[in-house]
Chains A and B, each alone.
Chain A
Amino acid sequence: MSAAIELANVCADFGSFRAVDHVNVTIKAGEFFSFLGPSGCGKTTILRMVSGFIDPSEGEITIGGQNMRGIRPNKRPTALIFQNLALFPLMPVWENISFGLEVRGVDKQTRRAKAEELLRLVDLPGSADKSIAQLSGGQKQRVAIARALAVEPKVMLLDEPLSALDLKLRQHMRAELRAIQKRTNVTFIYITHDQGEALAMSDRVGVMSHGKLQQVATPQEIYNRPANGFVASFVGENNIFTGQIETRNGTTATFRTGCGTFRALLGPGVTDTTPSKLYVRPEQARLVDAPPAGANNIPVEVADVAFEGNFINIQVRNGDGRALVIEARNDGSTAVPPPGSRFNMVFAPEQALILADEAAPAQGRAA
């Protein structure tokens, strides 16, 4: 039983500071949706607005078709997993999990049974009577999730739940959370600053910066077809070239930079006057001896090579000393190029993007 969430023109103001700026998005029922962005981008504020702890200054939030304006947090069909988990320290595990049922007047036996059922779902059987202090970080996570699931919410809201965990546990929990979401089919809204997490777990990702939604798309699209410079820089690595558009030709254009003039794909909304840059991902450039005709080409000299196991990170410099990065797969076919050797760095026009810079953040309240 899950619901769709619709944010229509939602804004949040704290005094004269606009934390969330006209966010419009519809999250589908049963979807795993992530809000991704750096600290201070407004994603936590959105979460607190959806759960009801902050009222939007403008705009409407609708859950399952019902407008949430004026509905207090304890009456909303949402369940929030806090960043510090907020498990009740004075109650044992099963009481924590069944708290939502207790406040709804469910009798003790049913609550206990439900708690044990949920403990099995989150893979913690037999922990019902333990105290919170006895649990490890990962176990507490799962209890928090079980507690939220107990009230059968239509929407689960997760506030950077994995940020406090160590690397191995984080990776394990990523898979767990995804599995739980698929099993229960509840709509998950997940916020994080970790792009790997967002891309790995989500059906769709909303990238945010300075209170604005920069792009909403599937992880592949976010990575392969970022909508603007911010998204491209925030997600994955880039070689970034400043310059000017010279000519346009439908979906492609030529872009003149200090390293040469290249053909590339035009990103959305790029006009001749919008400031834009050229983005080439390291794994999409290659080092060759002789460049194919008509390809984008930069003569470079290898500066430093880092063998990282499954791929090789190659730092190069062009004639002017400009530093660039190439990432090559270690599939045995490529030899590791020695520093000082000269090659041509080539990349296909389809793998280069001309993207507009992020729009300047709103100064004060929008009129």
Chain B
Amino acid sequence: MKARSNFLFHAYMVAFLAYMLLPLIVMGGAAFNDSRFPSVYPWVGWTDRWFLDLWNDGRMWVAFRNTIGVALAVVVMSVPIGTAAAILINSVGGTARSVLYGFMIAPVLTPGAVIGISTLLFWNKFSVPAGLHLSAVGQTSYISAFVMLLVLARLQSFDRALEEAALDLGASHAQVVRRILLPHLYPAIGAGAAIAFFQSVENFNTTLFTRGTYDTLTVYVFSRVRSGITPTINALALILVTLTIIGALWYEISRRRTMRRLALRPAPA
């Protein structure tokens, strides 16, 4: 009985993985098919012309540049904000902590459309027009929460006595933070920056409402699918998926290496 149910489970897992990954493979495959409408069947012929079209697509490059720009801006804003918020909330207790925590998590639980519209309206009041800057601001409002959560988790493993020891030895508060606290937090800050970057790149809902007339990659793909679709989009998709897979693999491998290194170190006496 156990063996049979185990087999069913294994089969279910495989089926689910196929369900998850096949669509991506199909989408990628269509990038090579010489057919005007993206498809894998019927297979007309092997071609790389969609990739060439993509390379020559100026609008795509502009969207790409914009996406990177916004993502970098988001990282620059959300990492200090998230770190500061984590340090602050870690030193506060009781009801103040719960209230602050609620406000910080709220943007994560808010639909992207609402974030986008509220950002647009608010800054419009100060005569700030829609554009990529607003997209960065809107995205920061909820991406900072991710950074905050990562840094806060890392703070739990920080021994406060280290700060006191440094103070006792004569360090100024700035030195304590720079030499003792931040080095401990760097792994979380690094992870937060990576998460912030990728979350920003893939954001759509908030960007849609705040971007004004500018394109980002996600908006570009969206408008292309709606207007006139050719497999250049598939080519772009395949490139992005491949980059994602490489990024994910690299992240996972480096994470495992770090875990192994930490596990090998003798436990502190």
B165 in the interface, Cβ–Cβ < 8 Å? yes
For B164, what are the chain A residues with a Cβ–Cβ distance below 8 Å?
53, 73, 80, 82, 86
Cβ–Cβ contact B161 & A84, under 8 A = yes
Bound together, the chains give a CA A156 to CA B16 distance in angstroms of: 64
For A148, what are the chain B residues with a Cβ–Cβ distance below 8 Å?
169
Cβ–Cβ contact A89 & B268, under 8 A = yes
Cβ–Cβ contact A88 & B180, under 8 A = yes
B124 in the interface, Cβ–Cβ < 8 Å? no
Cβ–Cβ contact B180 & A51, under 8 A = no
Interface centre among B167, B170, B268 (most CB of A within 10 A): B170
B166 in the interface, Cβ–Cβ < 8 Å? yes
Cβ–Cβ contact B184 & A90, under 8 A = yes
Instruction: List B residues 136-182 near A (Cβ within 8 Å).
Output: 159, 161-162, 164-172, 175, 179-180
A316 in the interface, Cβ–Cβ < 8 Å? no
For B266, what are the chain A residues with a Cβ–Cβ distance below 8 Å?
133-134
For B170, what are the chain A residues with a Cβ–Cβ distance below 8 Å?
74-75, 100, 103-104, 151
Interface centre among A87, A132, A140 (most CB of B within 10 A): A87
Bound together, the chains give a CA A354 to CA B220 distance in angstroms of: 94
Chain B, residues 209-239, CB within 8 Å of chain A (1/0): the string is: 0000000000000000000000000000000
Cβ–Cβ contact A133 & B165, under 8 A = no
For B96, what are the chain A residues with a Cβ–Cβ distance below 8 Å?
none
B187 to chain A, nearest CB (A): 11
B183 in the interface, Cβ–Cβ < 8 Å? yes
For A151, what are the chain B residues with a Cβ–Cβ distance below 8 Å?
169-170
A361 in the interface, Cβ–Cβ < 8 Å? no
A205 to chain B, nearest CB (A): 24
Cβ–Cβ contact A74 & B165, under 8 A = no
B269 in the interface, Cβ–Cβ < 8 Å? yes
Cβ–Cβ contact A84 & B159, under 8 A = yes
Cβ–Cβ contact A80 & B171, under 8 A = no
**Contact among A74, A84, A136, A140 with B167 in the assembled complex (CB-CB below 8 Å):** A74
- Chain B interface, >50% SS class: helix
Cβ–Cβ contact B159 & A103, under 8 A = no
Cβ–Cβ contact B168 & A73, under 8 A = yes
Report the count of interface residues on B (CB-CB < 8 A): 21
For A52, what are the chain B residues with a Cβ–Cβ distance below 8 Å?
168
Bound together, the chains give a CA A53 to CA B165 distance in angstroms of: 11
Cβ–Cβ contact A82 & B171, under 8 A = no
**Contact among A74, A84, A136, A137 with B171 in the assembled complex (CB-CB below 8 Å):** A74
Instruction: List A residues 123-149 near B (Cβ within 8 Å).
Output: 132-137, 140, 147-148
Cβ–Cβ contact A80 & B165, under 8 A = yes
Cβ–Cβ contact B169 & A99, under 8 A = yes
Report the count of interface residues on A (CB-CB < 8 A): 34
Cβ–Cβ contact A86 & B159, under 8 A = yes
A245 in the interface, Cβ–Cβ < 8 Å? no
Cβ–Cβ contact A74 & B168, under 8 A = yes
B244 to chain A, nearest CB (A): 32
Residue of A nearest to B268 (CB): A133
Cβ–Cβ contact A82 & B180, under 8 A = no
Cβ–Cβ contact B183 & A90, under 8 A = yes
Cβ–Cβ contact B165 & A103, under 8 A = no
B182 to chain A, nearest CB (A): 10
A202 in the interface, Cβ–Cβ < 8 Å? no
Bound together, the chains give a CA A72 to CA B184 distance in angstroms of: 24
B158 to chain A, nearest CB (A): 10
Cβ–Cβ contact A88 & B175, under 8 A = no
For A164, what are the chain B residues with a Cβ–Cβ distance below 8 Å?
269
B265 in the interface, Cβ–Cβ < 8 Å? yes
**Contact among A79, A89, A103 with B175 in the assembled complex (CB-CB below 8 Å):** A103
For B159, what are the chain A residues with a Cβ–Cβ distance below 8 Å?
84, 86
Interface centre among A52, A99, A134, A148 (most CB of B within 10 A): A99
Given contacts A84-B161, A133-B266, A133-B268, contact A78 B168 (CB under 8 A): yes
Cβ–Cβ contact A140 & B269, under 8 A = yes
Interface centre among B159, B168, B175 (most CB of A within 10 A): B168
Chain A, residues 82-117, CB within 8 Å of chain B (1/0): the string is: 101011111000000001101110000000000000
Given contacts A90-B183, A133-B268, contact A147 B161 (CB under 8 A): no
Interface centre among A73, A74, A80, A137 (most CB of B within 10 A): A74
Cβ–Cβ contact A73 & B269, under 8 A = no
**Contact among B169, B175, B265, B269 with A147 in the assembled complex (CB-CB below 8 Å):** B169
**Contact among A79, A86, A133, A150 with B161 in the assembled complex (CB-CB below 8 Å):** A86
For A140, what are the chain B residues with a Cβ–Cβ distance below 8 Å?
269
For A137, what are the chain B residues with a Cβ–Cβ distance below 8 Å?
269
For A86, what are the chain B residues with a Cβ–Cβ distance below 8 Å?
159, 161-162, 164-165
Interface CB pairs A-B, < 8 A, 18: A51-B168, A73-B167, A74-B167, A74-B169, A74-B171, A80-B168, A86-B161, A86-B164, A87-B165, A88-B162, A88-B165, A99-B166, A99-B179, A103-B171, A134-B266, A136-B269, A140-B269, A151-B170
The 8 A-B residue pairs with the shortest CB-CB distance in the complex, in nearest-first order: A100-B169, A86-B165, A86-B161, A103-B171, A137-B269, A74-B167, A80-B168, A73-B167
Could you tell me which A residues sit within 8 Å of B by CB distance? 51-53, 72-75, 78-80, 82, 84, 86-90, 99-100, 102-104, 132-137, 140, 147-148, 150-151, 164
Can you add 12 more A-B contacts, CB < 8 Å, to A53-B164, A134-B266? A52-B168, A82-B161, A84-B161, A86-B161, A89-B268, A90-B183, A99-B166, A99-B169, A99-B179, A103-B170, A150-B169, A151-B169
